[in-house]
């Protein structure tokens, strides 16, 4: 595989869902909507706005229906609702305001059981069924493979296993297949290998990547993934995030840092860095603390990002 740098990628803002889901302090529905509005204003055209999960297990997402009911319907903006089972998919479809359902399957049995009460194989079947439900409802369906690079309970995850899962998922014809480093253990060499293998296995279905910066490798992993053929990249404003079912999982790669890095390297994300930095400062006030993202804390550097 010869690394190549693409001219553009599709950026997905996951802050309203993955950024916030693990925050102990409940963020108001109004502030979630303001985060979504600011993301759109900064250029985001795909936004993971919420998840339809048990509010007892993920209290921060208890207002999923209220968030969806108030989403600004903006030309060209696609809203994603994350769902873990058929009941969640029904709720998400019933909102009438989402454009995509995001399903999740998990690459290890123990994490699949903790995350969604299924074995890994069962989670693949269930994700395929959710994609079919989305398609039947006239929505787009995508699937992310959680713990693709390592499991908080089982340790190493076999690359062959992830490639085989992606191949099975491709049969459901999702709009993309995501590889998530849910607990932030991946390194760039692993990412380059696995992304290249999955791109080869599922092409022309696009490969999406989702990294957490738990151990400082997140941004390097984004670069490795993009050079290996991933065409869709997740990030969360401020670098917030964690997983309620994965002990010790920390923040997502930060939107500001990803947009800065890719923009400087000549990869168009369609995002306005200045507006992201402003949004970071707003979000820091909402959360009442400094956020993990680095670029928003640094002096501005001459930078032109053409949207």
**Residue (18 or 63) nearer to Mg ion, CB:** 18
Site membership for Mg ion, residue 234 (CB under 5 A): no
- Which residue, 6 or 59, has its beta carbon nearer to Mg ion? 59
Decide whether 194 or 272 has the Cβ nearer to Mg ion.
194
**3 state DSSP class of 237:** helix
Assigned token pair, 181: 């480093």
Catalytic residues: 243
Q: Measured from the CB of residue 208, what is the shortest distance to Mg ion in angstroms?
A: 12
Burial class (CB in 10 A: 0-12, 13-18, 19+), 287: middle
Q: Total number of residues binding Mg ion (CB under 5 A)?
A: 1
Nearest distance in Å: CB 180, Mg ion: 6
| For Mg ion, the closer CB: 234 or 272 | 234
- Minimum CB distance to Mg ion, residue 204 (Å): 26
Nearest residue to the partner Mg ion, using Cβ? 18
Residue 76 φ/ψ region, left for φ over 0, alpha for ψ in the -120 to 50 degree band, beta for the rest: left
Please provide the size of the chain in residues: 307
Provide the β-strand partners of residue 104: 144
Number of other CB atoms surrounding residue 4 within 10 Å: 9
- Rounded to whole angstroms, the Cα distance separating 186 from 214 reads 10
Binding to Mg ion (CB under 5 A) within 10-39 occurs at 18
Distances from the Cα of 272 to the Cα of 212, 255, 281, angstroms: 22, 11, 15
Binding site for Mg ion (CB under 5 A): 18
């Amino acid at each position: 595989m010869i690394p190549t740098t693409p001219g553009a990628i599709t950026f997905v803002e996951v802050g309203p869902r993955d950024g916030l889901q693990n925050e102990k302090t409940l963020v108001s529905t109004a502030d979630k909507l303001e985060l979504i509005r600011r993301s759109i204003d900064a250029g985001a055209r795909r936004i993971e706005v919420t998840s339809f999960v048990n509010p007892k297990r993920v209290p921060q997402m208890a207002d999923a229906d209220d968030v969806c009911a108030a989403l600004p319907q903006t030309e060209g903006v696609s809203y994603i609702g994350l769902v873990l089972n058929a009941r969640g998919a029904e709720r998400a479809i019933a909102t009438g305001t989402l454009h995509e359902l995001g399903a999740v399957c998990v690459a290890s049995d123990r994490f699949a059981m903790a995350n969604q009460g299924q074995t890994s194989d069962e989670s693949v079947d269930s994700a395929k069924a959710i994609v079919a439900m989305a398609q039947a409802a006239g929505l787009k369906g995508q699937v992310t493979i959680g713990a693709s690079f390592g499991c908080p309970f089982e340790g190493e995850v076999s690359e062959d296993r992830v490639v085989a899962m992606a191949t099975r998922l491709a049969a459901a014809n999702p709009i993309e297949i995501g590889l998530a480093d849910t607990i932030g253990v991946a390194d760039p060499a692993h990412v380059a290998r696995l992304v290249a293998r999955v791109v080869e296995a599922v092409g022309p279905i696009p490969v999406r990547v989702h990294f957490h910066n738990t151990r400082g490798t997140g941004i390097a992993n984004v670069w490795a993934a993009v050079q290996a053929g991933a065409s869709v990249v997740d990030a969360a404003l401020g670098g917030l995030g964690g997983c309620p079912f994965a002990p010790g999982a920390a923040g997502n790669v930060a939107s500001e840092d990803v947009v800065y890095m890719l923009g400087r390297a000549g990869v168009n994300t369609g995002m306005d860095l200045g507006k992201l930095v402003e949004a970071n400062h707003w979000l820091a006030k909402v959360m009442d603390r400094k956020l993990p993202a680095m670029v928003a804390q640094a002096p501005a550097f001459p930078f032109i990002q053409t949207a």
